[in-house]
Amino acid sequence: MLRFRASIFKEILLLIRDRSGLAILFFMPVALVTIMALVQDAPFRDYQELNIPALLLNQDEGAFGEQILARFDSSRMFDILEITGDEQALKKKIADGTYDIGIVIPPGVSDYILAQSNGYAEQMMRDLGMPVLPSELPGIDSTKQVGIFFKPGVKQSFRQAVLQAIRQESSQLETATLIRSFKTILGAEDDGEQASDFGNFVAFRERPVGDEWLEARQTNSVQHNVPAWTMFGMFFIVISLAGSIIREREEGSYLRILTMPGSYLTVLLGKMTAYLGVCLIQCALMLGVGVFFLPLLGLPALDMQGMTFLNLALVATSCGLAAVGFGVLTGTICQTHQQASTFGSVSVVILAALGGIWVPVYVMPAVIQSIAEWSPLFWGLNAFQHVFLGNGQFQPIAAYLLYLQLFFLCCVGISLLINRARQQA
């Protein structure tokens, strides 16, 4: 126990003495989290709340124009600016590139819909043999088409989505109008209900295949980036830990310790404990940035609603152990600082890429996905997400914790074997 305590104490002293190294260990990940969350804010919004700048030229004076406007206003998809003037003016603005889409609702569309639905209703009644005062079914009027104009270069998928949204609104209004026409003909009182839910008998379950749970919840840049770069930052201690191991080997204190009674593992455990402490402080710092600092920059705060302290502590410790184990292995395998910093940084970047730190794993090709599931950063990131957004259960993170801890044990085990082999060589 004395040797263990002495090793922790020595390591802490060494860490504190290396001010710049320590500053890098803490400052770099914090900068990384902040910058990444800011940089990826826009791309994430693409999928979430677009606020696409849109123009609306509403020449209709009835319900249709109003409803389209209300609908787009309330959705976070569009940032609608209503303009007056004519179609040419609107087209010109779209062509300028300031606005992505422009919608033109021609005059009298509402009346047209009403006339159409009245006509259909009467015709149907007549077909059923009901006595109805004859009225004319107006023909299709091409001047009543809703015009939708897109900025050049707008993606086809996006155009489809916008068209779909307007079509849906239009058909709901048509259905509601039709029902009202029937009611009028049948002499029922118009209670003013829009029957807007009409037509939604069939509901849809929309779910991505894969880690649907996660994808559905990674609602913004902060929610993805904070845990992702926290993992990445924690793994970057690999370089300084490996450096410390190599330095002690070069300086000879490692050999001196080997000539002393007791197992080297005790000393190594002390070193690992100190570095684990660094990892945990890094983690706390970066989560703190997510919760308190990023909102100051206009980003959403990190959502940790599902968190229990115990789960967070378990995940953070397991991730830290995995990082520390990898650092020990790197320091053991690599002969020089040069090797360690190159191998350490490249391997951490590869593990991070595979782990879904940059690009979510579910958009990767199938082959890569199956490899990705072996990255400790993948386990760590998923475990963090489950802790933040789950409902406090332990079960979803259990497997990840196990993998991370096994990874740690393997790394340390292999390192000890390598050390032993070297000594015997």
| 257 binds another protein per the rule CB under 8 A | yes
- Is 173 near another protein (CB under 8 A)? no
Select 134 or 252, whichever has its Cβ closest to another protein: 252
Binder to another protein among 43, 256, 338, 392 (CB under 8 A)? 256
Residue 50 is a binding residue for another protein (CB under 8 A)? no
Instruction: Compute the least distance from the CB of residue 274 to another protein, in Å.
Output: 13
Shortest reach from residue 411's CB to another protein, in Å: 24
Rounded to a whole number of angstroms, the minimum distance from the CB of residue 256 to another protein is: 4
Which residues, at least 6 apart from 40, have a Cβ–Cβ distance to it below 8 Å? 221, 224, 225
CA distances from 423 to 98, 246, 259, 265, 415 (A): 70, 15, 12, 15, 12
Contact status: 336 vs another protein (CB under 8 A): no
Q: Which of 90, 105, 176, 267 binds another protein (CB under 8 A)?
A: 267
Does 421 engage in binding with another protein (CB under 8 A)? no
Q: Find the angle CA(213)-CA(205)-CA(196) to the nearest 5 degrees.
A: 130
**H or E stretch at 147:** strand 147-150
Residue 157 or 259: which CB sits closer to another protein? 259
- The strand order across the sheet containing 147-150 reads 78-83, 52-58, 101-105, 147-150
2 binds another protein (CB under 8 A): yes
Q: Footprint of another protein on residues 4-43 (CB under 8 A)? A: 5-7, 9-10, 13-14, 17-18
Nearer to another protein among residue 188 and residue 258 (C-beta):
258
Continuous segment of H or E residues that includes residue 244: helix 237-251
Q: Which is nearer to another protein, 200 or 335 (CB)?
A: 335
The beta strands (E) that lie in 9-139 are given as 52-58, 78-83, 101-105
Shorter beta-carbon distance to another protein: residue 98 or 253: 253
Minimum distance from CB of 8 to another protein (Å)?
11
265 lies in the site for another protein, by CB under 8 A: no
| Cβ contact 234:323 at 8 Å | yes
The dihedrals phi and psi of 244, each to the nearest 5 degrees, come to -65, -40
- The residue among 7 and 175 lying less far from another protein, judged by its C-beta, is 7
Q: How far is CA 383 from CA 144, 179, 313, 373, in A?
A: 55, 51, 11, 13
Q: What's the DSSP call for residue 311?
A: H
Residues contributing to the site for another protein (CB under 8 A)? 2-3, 5-7, 9-10, 13-14, 17-18, 248, 251-253, 255-262, 267, 423-425
